[in-house]
């Protein structure tokens, strides 16, 4: 893949377990949504699309898409994001979640650099985010993205997935509780 992938940050949720939407939460002086955008941009993604819903605000350096159906779950945000990315000339999209404070630009760059149509970041061998998908798969991902699942159904059981280990340069944990 020669052209830079687009970045896609799924950030529309209400953060029910967390007690509030996570996108505007400040961690170490930076909002989670801004951190995700920065990591994607510094890791080689251009443009970066952010899907918002429960919380809506300005996100510098990103194309903001408001998902009116955000309460239906991550699937609707994935579809809204892919629709926005499809309007660009990107040949692939790198998808991540907003609530990954341990994601780094170095991890993103590794996933961007892998030469395969479907690439998933791995943390000590376990699948995580970000996930890179070639344009040829977007329609099928959009069809299978339902409820609280983005690309999960599409990825399940596929043998053409390339895992790229990033656990030495990033953490894949997601913030589910305010104490985290």
DSSP 8-class letter at 5: P
Taking the domains of the chain in order of start, what are their residue ranges?
Answer: 6-165
Does 117 score more than 70 pLDDT? yes
pLDDT in tens, 82-93: 999 999 999 999
Residue-level pLDDT at 1: 43
The pLDDT value recorded for residue 95 is 97
- pLDDT tens by residue, 57-70: 999 999 999 999 99
Give me the percent of the chain exceeding a pLDDT of 70.
97
Q: What is the pLDDT of residue 3?
A: 78
pLDDT over 60 (residue 2): no
The three-class DSSP label of residue 144 is helix
- What is the average per-residue pLDDT within 149-171? 88
pLDDT at 74: 87
Look up residue 41 and give its two tokens.
Answer: 């941009």
What is the band of 180 on the pLDDT scale with cuts at 50, 70, 90?
low
Region of residue 15 (phi > 0: left; psi between -120 and 50: alpha; otherwise: beta): left
| Multiple choice CATH, 6-165, 3.90.550.10, 3.40.50.2000, 3.40.50.300, 3.30.70.1400 | 3.90.550.10
Mean pLDDT of the chain: 92
| Residue 16: burial class (beta carbons within 10 Å; 0-12, 13-18, 19+) | exposed
- 62, HSE (Cβ side, Cα atoms, 13 Å): 28
User: What is the pLDDT averaged over residues 34-60?
Assistant: 98
In this prediction, residue 49 has a pLDDT band, given cuts at 50, 70 and 90, of very high
Angle between helices 32-42 and 105-113 (to 10 degrees): 40
Largest CA distance in the chain: 41
Q: How far apart are CA 19 and CA 14, in angstroms?
A: 8
Q: Report the 10 Å Cβ neighbour count for 164.
A: 17
Assess contact for 55 and 21: CB atoms under 8 A.
yes
Q: Report the 10 Å Cβ neighbour count for 125.
A: 8
Residue 165 has pLDDT above 70, yes or no: yes
pLDDT at residue 174, rounded to an integer:
84
Query: Tokens representing 140?
Result: 């099928």
Q: How far apart are alpha carbons 43 and 131 in whole angstroms?
A: 13
* Cα–Cα distance, 1 to 80 (Å, whole number): 24
CB 172 within 8 A of CB 123: yes
Least confident window among 18-22, 34-38, 60-64:
18-22
């Amino acid at each position: 893949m020669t052209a830079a992938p687009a970045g896609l940050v799924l950030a529309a949720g209400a953060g029910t377990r967390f007690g509030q939407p996570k996108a505007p939460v400040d961690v170490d002086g930076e909002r989670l949504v801004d951190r995700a955008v920065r990591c994607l941009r510094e890791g080689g993604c251009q443009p970066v699309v952010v899907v918002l819903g429960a919380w809506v605000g300005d996100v510098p350096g990103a194309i903001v898409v408001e998902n009116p159906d955000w309460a239906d779950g991550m699937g609707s945000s994935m579809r809204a994001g892919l629709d926005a990315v499809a309007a660009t000339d990107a040949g692939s999209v790198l998808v991540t979640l907003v609530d990954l404070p341990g994601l780094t630009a170095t991890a993103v760059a590794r996933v961007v650099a892998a030469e395969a149509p479907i690439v998933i970041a791995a943390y000590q061998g376990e699948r995580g985010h970000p996930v890179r998908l070639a344009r040829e798969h977007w329609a099928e991902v959009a069809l299978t993205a339902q409820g609280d699942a983005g690309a999960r159904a599409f990825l399940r059981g596929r043998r053409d997935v390339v895992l790229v280990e990033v656990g030495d340069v990033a953490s894949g944990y997601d913030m589910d509780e305010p104490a985290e």
